Amino acid sequence: MSTRSQSATNFSEEVQRHSVHTLVFRSLKRTHDMFLSCQGMLPPIDEEAEKIKKLVKARDCYGLVFDKVERNKINMKKSQPNHPKSDSLDIYKDNHLPLAITDNPEKVNKNTETSMVLSSPSTQNIAAANRLINHIMPKPKWHPPWKLYRVISGHLGWVRCVTVEPGNEWFATGAADRVIKIWDLATGKLKLSLTGHVSTVRGLQVSPRHPYLFSCGEDRQVKCWDLEHNKVVRHYHGHLSAVYSLALHPTIDVLLTAGRDSTARVWDMRTKANVHTLTGHTNTVASVVAHEFEPQVLTGSHDCTIRLWDLAAGKTRATLTNHKKSVRSLVLHPKVYMFASASPDNIKQWTCPDGKFVQNLTGHNAIVNCMAVNSDGVLMSGANNGSMYAWDWRTGYNFQRMQAPVQPGSMDSEAGVFAMAFDNSGTRLITAEADKTIKLYREDDTATEESHPINWKPDIIRRRKY
């Protein structure tokens, strides 16, 4: 037998000397010895610290309740000077009043006997709770439901973007067939087709001050079309990959684009110069919007963040990290100094200029591709599965849910809503969809508050949940 075979035999005998049970026990003992000093001898709980922690949490969650209850106790003591000084709870028991929040405690004290006859303490508790809910979350404004009134066919591929002309006479759409089509808003008839892109058109904007239409696409091209001659007059070169979104600054001649190269770029509209390259996102920038006031540029990305930019410096002003999934759409309210962001986890509302969180709009459990908001406070959201939700901007109440009908001959999977826009009057909604159609919606004139009542169930926790 060779030396190698002998050493192998000795090694196998050494391994087999100890049973599996012994080896496992040794391993457990080593683990126990290692973690004994960390977990086996924890310091005693500081009761005072625990008490302070609970008080802080209670004050944070129920501060309004505590303040109003204390105010009620003080007012009741003032209204009963002859009553012996005792605990506030005894005063409530003697008067048979509930421990509740009331809008006018003094009035309740004066009408104690009447309130005892009219309602029980439990009823008063419920009424007081309702008053508190109405104070924290006001009842939503009634909006008429929206209904489909026109379907336009003409594109040969998925319709990916839509924009309305400032004069409200026509709108433009871009699609995967590489064609930009211009449609009459009143009749839905095709007016013009513009060809020039060599890949899917992903973004369109019409300038409010110039006869220009701007477009971008997956061919990395950003084009400026002269609408008087219907031809391309400028190209903006610089993006390294597909360009997914573009926006025009409302007051200065600046164009903003964003795409798959994780950057947003600021262009001088006339000289075609790349003024700034806004870097910081770590994934595709899916949406960019421009604002007249600070922050003038906002971007939403697949890296789950929203960035607010200082346009003059070309640097990030704030980064919002509340979303847990890709941010695919941003929209600015036309009247209120706020904006909303859409993600598969939920829709969030924020205030400008610092991006302070306001509330979540939950319930649209799908990949939300697009949003639009009108001056009446109606926020519409469209998703990959063809679902469309209508929300009241102020309260976040979801007053309507629709499913976009698929064009006959299309697959059910081609029900996605990729883009949407209100016309300038806010009374018509245009959607661009995966079944190669454009759909137009308007408010139902026959609906009333009685036929479509507000089914309002406020969720106080939703406002505090990030």
Q: How far apart are CA 300 and CA 306, in angstroms?
A: 5
With a CB cutoff of 8 Å and minimum separation 6, the contacts of 123 are: none
Compute the distance between CA of residue 179 and CA of residue 414 in angstroms, rounded to an integer: 20
Beta bridge partners of 223: 215, 235
Structure tokens at 398: 């979801």
Answering whether pTM is above 0.75, one says no
Burial state string for 252-264 with b = 16 or more CB within 10 A and e = fewer than 16: eebbbbbbbbbbb
User: In 254-354, at which residue ranges do the beta strands (DSSP E only) sit?
Assistant: 254-259, 264-268, 274-278, 285-290, 297-301, 306-310, 315-320, 329-332, 338-342, 347-351
Backbone angles phi, psi at 427, to 5 degrees: -105, -10
Cα 209 to Cα 71: distance, rounded to the nearest angstrom: 57
Give every strand in the sheet of 368-373, ordered side by side: 368-373, 378-383, 387-392, 398-403
Measured distance CA(350)–CA(344) in Å, rounded: 17
Q: Could you list the pLDDT tens digit for every one of the 466 residues in the chain?
A: 455 555 545 544 555 567 777 877 778 877 777 766 665 566 677 888 888 888 887 877 777 777 778 888 888 877 765 544 444 444 334 444 343 333 444 444 444 333 333 334 445 555 554 554 454 567 888 999 999 999 999 999 999 999 999 999 999 999 999 999 999 999 999 999 999 999 999 999 999 999 999 999 999 999 999 999 999 999 999 999 999 999 999 999 999 999 999 999 999 999 999 999 999 999 999 999 998 888 999 999 999 999 999 999 999 999 999 999 999 999 999 999 999 999 998 999 999 988 999 999 998 888 999 999 999 999 999 999 999 999 999 988 999 999 988 888 777 677 899 999 999 999 999 999 999 999 999 999 888 888 888 887 765 444 444 3
